[in-house]
Amino acid sequence: MLRSITDELKSIVSSNEFQAMRSVRGTGFFEDMLKFFDIIYVDRAARIVKDLLLYRRRGLKMLDIGSGFGYFPWICKRLGHYVTTTDVPNEMYQTVTTYLGLEPAILEIKPMKKISVTGKFDVITALKTSFHDKRIGKWSKTDWIFFYKDIRRIVSKKGFVYITSSNICDSRGNRCNKELYRP
Ligand SMILES: C[S@@+](CC[C@H](N)C(=O)[O-])C[C@H]1O[C@@H](n2cnc3c(N)ncnc32)[C@H](O)[C@@H]1O
């Protein structure tokens, strides 16, 4: 099933209509976003779905932080999960995720600020995001510890948080590139 869902998304991404969105410009546009028009990013999203065993489950309430083009939430949604797709305000991301039928929401993670979402989630992901690294400078150990403490507020009892990016920290403030956090 995961394979056929992934193939379906790849064919959407390869279509002329989808590729035509390369010309979208607007506030917050970064040149390196164009790389996401490549189907290798669909494969990457599918690999994470597989690694997290999300293809074996249904109906999880998920929050994806910094969704970008939304390939990961799209696959999760097709598998029967309820996913909130989020990113910073950005015309390219809004256009692409809306095209994919994802109803993108604005969520900007900031150091020492509570994450502004309501309710609890079974799965919270932040995949290759850069909220800790760019624009406002690298996050300190204290910023990370605050972040994990706050995230406990929005993750359900048996839920988990998966974060992957360079220069991130785990919940104790130790450097890592990947963190599977179960509060
Ligand atoms: C390399 S892209 C990864 C996109 C997607 N998660 C993926 O794996 O394909 C990094 C993402 O982090 C988002 N991002 C950067 N700063 C952020 C912040 N402060 N809060 C939330 N998302 C942020 C960017 O807008 C972008 O979508």
CATH number at residue 70: 3.40.50
Helix/strand/coil (H, E, C) string of 42-110?
HHHHHHHHHHCCHHHCCCCEEEEECCCCCHHHHHHHHCCCEEEEEECCCHHHHHHHHHCCCCCEECCCC
Q: How many domains does the chain have?
A: 1
- How far, in Å, from the CA of 65 to the mean position of ligand 1? 7
The predicted-structure confidence for 38-83, as pLDDT tens digits, reads as follows 999 999 999 999 999 999 999 999 999 999 999 999 999 999 999 9
Residue 27: per-residue pLDDT: 56
Max CA separation in the chain (angstroms) = 46
Spatial neighbors of 143 by CB under 8 A, at least 6 apart, are 111, 112, 132
Cα separation of 156 and 122, whole Å? Answer: 5
> What would the two tokens of residue 83 be?
């996913």
Ligand 1 pocket check for 127: Cβ under 6 Å: yes
Output the pLDDT for position 32. Answer: 78
Question: 117 φ, ψ to 5°?
Answer: -135, 160
- Average pLDDT of span 81-95: 95
CA distance 171 to 141: 9
Our mutation pick for probing the ligand 1 site, out of 129, 133, 177, counting the most ligand atoms within 8 A of Cβ, is: 129
How do residues 98-143 score in pLDDT, each as one tens digit? 999 999 999 999 999 999 999 999 999 999 998 887 656 689 999 9
Q: What pLDDT, in 10s, does the model give residues 138-171?
A: 899 999 999 999 999 999 999 999 999 988 999 9
Domain range for 168: 2-181
**Ligand 1 near 88 CB (within 6 A):** yes
What is the C-alpha separation between 165 and 128, in angstroms, rounded? Answer: 4
